[in-house]
């Protein structure tokens, strides 16, 4: 498929009229062809207008047609074959195995949501029959269903060019809910985005859906995203990125005449709490596993384990020795963009300059386009006194907080901001102590795990990829798993409607009654 660098609006290629830009190969800093042109306000308006026109039709498509549409997107992505894989490798510097795995995850998400749509339970159909004889007031006939919110603006993520991008989890769940989607592609991988966008447009056409069901816009700056969020026809936002970016969009959304929800996944340092008996029995083993998790993908995961909390002792010393030795052999790695690499280096430099922090180990040096892993340590007292030590360093940098005793460890945990994940490493003898901590941890994170690290996020009906602010803007939601569909729905109750006026799903009283039971 020839890449044109065009926007995708109304099912057609449209040349952007704003500033042009090109993807940059992160391995060598060289620009790639073709150039991509950003969307103007007029082109954003066109996409939003088409999405709004498509909404009343698309939201009432049959569940089977909507499920087949999601499956058609999955098939279209697979049909791109190596063209997609090679372009994604070139634009991100990620290895083939990572890209192929992410493609499989993207396709799997779409198929999972197709299954969820066919099941229909997300509609939450409820029927409460009338009772004319009820005293002192007759009881009305009430029926309820969830409906789609409206067109959704989705922002592609820098660190997942497929699974959190054009046809990733936000797009899949919004389309599953019945919402048209306008994607603002990430400027780091526009070619990858364009290829996937073409697959979605093809699925729209094959499925006979309104041409405004999907659009793909480019921009080298912030204007497209800001304009989309402010547009009165956009009714929700899906975002994965920095805290600064997420809070900026939240501000725009809250200042609209009709504020809208922004589901932003932002920052998390994903604490790991190491309990004494686990450390004594297998501190070295845990240290090696931690180092592998910290450096996976150059640490460019939102669930990267950036903070270790443990009580001082021989077990912690064994953990540190093992982790330090493993990290010292870790090769420098390409980061996704020059900007991300520079931000990581500044974060490491900030920790190096902190008087209360010391460097334990660092990885091997690399080229100007690569970053080396780094592991630091500090005391619990210093961590509690310096809130800036909680700031995320996006990349393979970790900080160990050494605590004198369990009381100090608990104070450190109580000081934490909201997180995506918190991991516990325990042996049988630690369970009693750890169980006392669980109620506190439930208030801090969306996912708790034992004897592992959060870097693997299973796409599952039981997964929560979210957490209290600032991990996300709304800790009641998830961006991974089938519960993600509920972000883009709202309930509507229909009172005393004649059958002819009822939406199709609520006309079958017996079926609705069975759901209610």
What's the pLDDT score for residue 517? 43
Q: Where are the alpha helices (DSSP H) in 296-332?
A: 314-328
> What's 133's DSSP letter?
T
As to burial, measured by CB atoms within 10 angstroms (0-12 exposed, 13-18 middle, 19+ buried), residue 242 is: middle
Where are the CATH 3.40.605.10 domain residues in the chain? 9-15+32-266+474-509
CATH of 271-450, one of 3.40.470.10, 3.90.320.10, 3.40.309.10, 3.40.630.10: 3.40.309.10
Architecture of domain 9-15+32-266+474-509: 3-Layer(aba) Sandwich (3.40)
CA 510 to chain centre: 39
Q: Return the pLDDT at 78.
A: 98
What is the C-alpha to C-alpha distance for residues 1 and 193, in angstroms, rounded to an integer?
Answer: 13
What pLDDT score was predicted for residue 27?
Answer: 84
Q: Coil, helix or strand for 379?
A: strand
Please tell me the predicted confidence (pLDDT) of residue 118.
Answer: 98
Beta strands (DSSP E) in 404-495 are 419-425, 445-450, 489-495
pLDDT in tens, the chain (517 residues): 789 999 999 999 999 999 999 999 998 889 999 999 999 999 999 999 999 999 999 999 999 999 999 999 999 999 999 999 999 999 999 999 999 999 999 999 999 999 999 999 999 999 999 999 999 999 999 999 999 999 999 999 999 999 999 999 999 999 999 999 999 999 999 999 999 999 999 999 999 999 999 999 999 899 999 999 999 999 999 999 999 999 999 999 999 999 999 999 999 999 999 999 999 999 999 999 999 999 999 999 999 999 999 999 999 999 999 999 999 999 999 999 999 999 999 999 999 999 999 999 999 998 877 999 999 999 999 999 999 999 999 999 999 999 999 999 999 999 999 999 999 999 999 999 999 999 999 999 999 999 999 998 999 999 999 999 999 999 999 999 999 999 999 999 999 999 999 999 999 755 544 444 4
Q: How far apart are CA 293 and CA 454, in angstroms?
A: 9
- For 35-93, the three-class secondary structure string (H helix, E strand, C coil) is CEECCCHHHHHHHHHHHHHHHHHHCCCCHHHHHHHHHHHHHHHHHCCHHHHHHHHHHHC
Q: What are phi and psi of 339, to 5 degrees?
A: -65, -40
Among residues 118, 101, 48, 108, the alpha carbon closest in space to that of 75 is found at 108
- The reported pTM is 0.95
* pLDDT value of position 515: 46
Given this model, what pLDDT does residue 2 score? 86
Distances (CA, A) of 90 to 29, 86, 134, 156: 11, 6, 70, 17
Q: Hey, which residues are catalytic here?
A: 265, 302
Are 38 and 239 contacting, i.e. CB atoms less than 8 angstroms apart? no
Distance separating the N- and C-terminal Cα atoms of the chain:
51
What is the predicted pLDDT for the residue at 509?
58
């Amino acid at each position: 498929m020839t890449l044109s660098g065009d926007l995708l609006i109304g099912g057609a290629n449209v040349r952007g009229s704003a500033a042009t830009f090109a993807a940059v190969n992160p391995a060598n800093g060289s620009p790639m062809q073709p150039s991509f042109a950003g969307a103007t306000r007029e082109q954003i308006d066109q996409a939003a207008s088409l999405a709004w026109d498509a909404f009343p039709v698309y939201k009432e498509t049959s569940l089977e047609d909507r499920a087949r549409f999601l499956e058609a997107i999955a098939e279209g992505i697979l049909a791109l074959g190596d063209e997609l894989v090679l372009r994604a490798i070139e634009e991100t510097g990620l290895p083939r195995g990572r890209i192929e795995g992410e493609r499989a995850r993207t396709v799997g998400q779409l198929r999972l949501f197709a299954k969820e749509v066919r099941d229909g339970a997300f509609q939450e159909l409820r029927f409460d029959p009338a009772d004319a004889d009820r005293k002192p007031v007759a009881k009305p006939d009430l029926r309820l269903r969830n409906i789609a919110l409206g067109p959704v603006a989705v922002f592609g993520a820098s660190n997942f060019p497929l699974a959190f991008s054009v046809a990733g989890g936000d797009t899949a769940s919004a389309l599953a809910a019945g919402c048209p989607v306008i994607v603002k592609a990430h400027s780091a991988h526009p070619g990858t985005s364009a290829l996937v966008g073409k697959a979605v447009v093809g699925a729209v056409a094959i499925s006979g859906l309104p041409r405004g069901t999907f659009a793909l816009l480019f921009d080298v700056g912030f204007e497209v995203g800001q304009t989309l969020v402010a547009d009165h026809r956009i009714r929700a936002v899906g975002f994965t990125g920095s805290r600064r970016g997420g809070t900026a969009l939240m501000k725009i959304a809250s200042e609209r005449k009709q504020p809208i929800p922004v589901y932003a996944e932002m920052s998390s340092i994903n604490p790991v709490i190491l309990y004494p008996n686990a450390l004594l029995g297998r501190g070295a083993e845990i240290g090696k596993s931690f180092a592998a998790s910290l450096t996976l993908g150059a640490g460019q995961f939102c669930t990267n384990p950036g903070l270790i909390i443990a009580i001082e002792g021989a077990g912690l010393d064994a953990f540190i020795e093992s982790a330090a030795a493993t990290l010292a052999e870790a090769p420098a790695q390409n980061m996704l963009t020059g900007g991300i690499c520079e931000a990581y280096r500044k974060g490491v430099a900030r920790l190096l300059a902190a008087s209360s922090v010391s460097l334990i180990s660092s990885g091997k040096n690399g080229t100007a386009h690569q970053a080396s892993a780094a592991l630091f340590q500090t005391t619990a007292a210093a961590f509690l006194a310096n809130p800036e030590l909680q700031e995320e360093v996006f990349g393979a940098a970790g900080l160990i907080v050494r605590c004198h005793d369990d009381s100090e460890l608990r104070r450190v945990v109580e000081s934490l901001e909201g997180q995506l994940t918190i991991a516990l490493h325990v042996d049988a003898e630690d369970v009693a102590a750890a169980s006392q901590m669980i109620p506190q941890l439930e208030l801090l994170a969306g996912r708790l795990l034992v004897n592992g690290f959060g870097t693997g996020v299973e796409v599952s009906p039981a997964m929560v990829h979210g957490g209290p602010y600032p991990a996300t803007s709304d800790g009641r939601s998830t961006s991974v798993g089938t519960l993600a569909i509920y972000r883009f729905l709202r309930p509507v109750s229909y009172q005393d409607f004649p059958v002819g006026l009822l939406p199709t799903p609520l006309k079958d009283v017996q079926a609705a009654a069975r759901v209610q039971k």
